Structure 1
Amino acid sequence: MGKIVISSNVSLDGVVQDPDGAEGFDRGGWFVRYGGADLDEWSKLEHAEALSTEALLLGRRSDGWFGARWASRPGEWAERLNSLPKYVVSSTLQEPSWTNVTVLKGDVVDEVTRLRQELDGDIVCYASYELGRTLIEHDLVDELRLVLFPVVVGAGKRLFGESSGARPFRLAGSRTVGSGLVLLTYEIVRDA
């Protein structure tokens, strides 16, 4: 059985919106601005994660964002990301932007449950906060990997929104990335 992992960059106040500033959000661009020299270590962390991942799970907009940035990049990290099977949840996507994409057009919960049963290993969900919220709400997430950036953005879309109830997680690991970023790893507590 596969393990659903949400892997995300997040500000201290939980904002995940427009980290690179490309969306035009007036508070976007916090990733480079506050990641600085630590982004070299962040890259190593993300590269290692890609090497241990079995598949990617994305929303429609994330497919477009990643496809535009990674499809033509050279190097081992790009080759790994481009070669991974990708599952994009969308009822409207006709032409995926990235490579190796299967579009999941049915009910999100049913499609991801089936995917989780069919695959083994980590199924990593990048940069898809709306999808992430749905997965958390329906108890489909097994692990959170959050790279915490040292900034309070003050507004913007957050990974966690309103939910129907508490979802307990346990800290599985923490480490600094460079000198200013922190990787927090949490596992879902299903026996609480």
Structure 2
Amino acid sequence: MGRIVLSGPQNVSLDGVVQDPDGAEGFERGGWFAQYGGKDLQEWNKVALQEALTAEAWLMGRRSYEFFGTRWRPRSNELADRLNTMPKYVVSSTLDEPDWHNTTILSGDVVTEVSKLKQELDGEIVVPASYRLAHTLIEHDLADEVRLVMFPVVLGAGEHLFGEANGKKPMRLVDNKTIGDGLVHLTYEFV
């Protein structure tokens, strides 16, 4: 049985904002990933590569699928090669034909489709970014683990990974480490 891991790694500000880390969405407070990641991004890349190498598949919403596909399809390095060849599943009611190698479109009910996927796959099914999809997975108790990379900035506004959770969601810390000099990598399991 597969495990749903919200990660990629999941980049988050100290106040929990996950919106527009690279600034491509036009969010007025976006672009904080490179600005506050600084010299630690080389170490962050090692974490991202290790996670991609151990993942069974990626699961994304349409917007994240399009963002990552545009970014990684034309590249060629160890991380790009892994992302371009690994199985990918995209939740979308509007996407007809995938344009990224080894992609399957999940167009039915999200909860039903992801529940089936968890039964069919073994290993980690990583959900990179895709905070809207993450909200649904958390709400329906489909997420098993969350990995956060905390960036040293408070944004004061923006979309949060947990949104407005429907009730309490207890978690247990299973790992923590620093990445470079200023980033913290936290791993929690849903209890």
- Indicate whether the TM-score tops 0.5: yes
TM-score, scaled to structure 2: 0.97
Once residues 97 and 160 of structure 1 are traced to their aligned partners in structure 2, the CA distance between those partners, rounded to angstroms, is 30
1:154 Cα offset (Å): 1.1
Q: 1:50 aligns with which of 49, 52, 55?
A: 52
Aligned to 1:91: 93
Alignment of 1:59 with 2:22, yes or no, is: no
SS of the residue corresponding to residue 189 of structure 2 reads: strand
Aligned to 1:139: 141
1:160 Cα offset (Å): 1.1
SS of the residue corresponding to residue 38 of structure 1 reads: helix
Aligned to 1:79: 81
TM-score, scaled to structure 1: 0.97
- Map Cα deviations across residues 133-181 of structure 1 (whole Å, 9 max, x no partner): 1000000011000000000011111111112210111000000000100
Tell me, yes or no, if the aligned pair for 1:64 and 1:96 is still in contact at 8 Å: no
- Map Cα deviations across residues 2-47 of structure 1 (whole Å, 9 max, x no partner): 0000001000111111100111111110000000000000000100
Once residues 166 and 29 of structure 2 are traced to their aligned partners in structure 1, the CA distance between those partners, rounded to angstroms, is 29
In the alignment, structure 2 segments of 5+ residues that lack a partner are: none
- Map Cα deviations across residues 76-112 of structure 1 (whole Å, 9 max, x no partner): 1111011110000011112334221100000000000
Once residues 127 and 169 of structure 1 are traced to their aligned partners in structure 2, the CA distance between those partners, rounded to angstroms, is 19
In the alignment, structure 1 segments of 5+ residues that lack a partner are: none
RMSD of equivalent CA atoms = 0.8
Aligned to 1:159: 161
Tell me, yes or no, if the aligned pair for 1:63 and 1:96 is still in contact at 8 Å: no
Aligned residues: 189
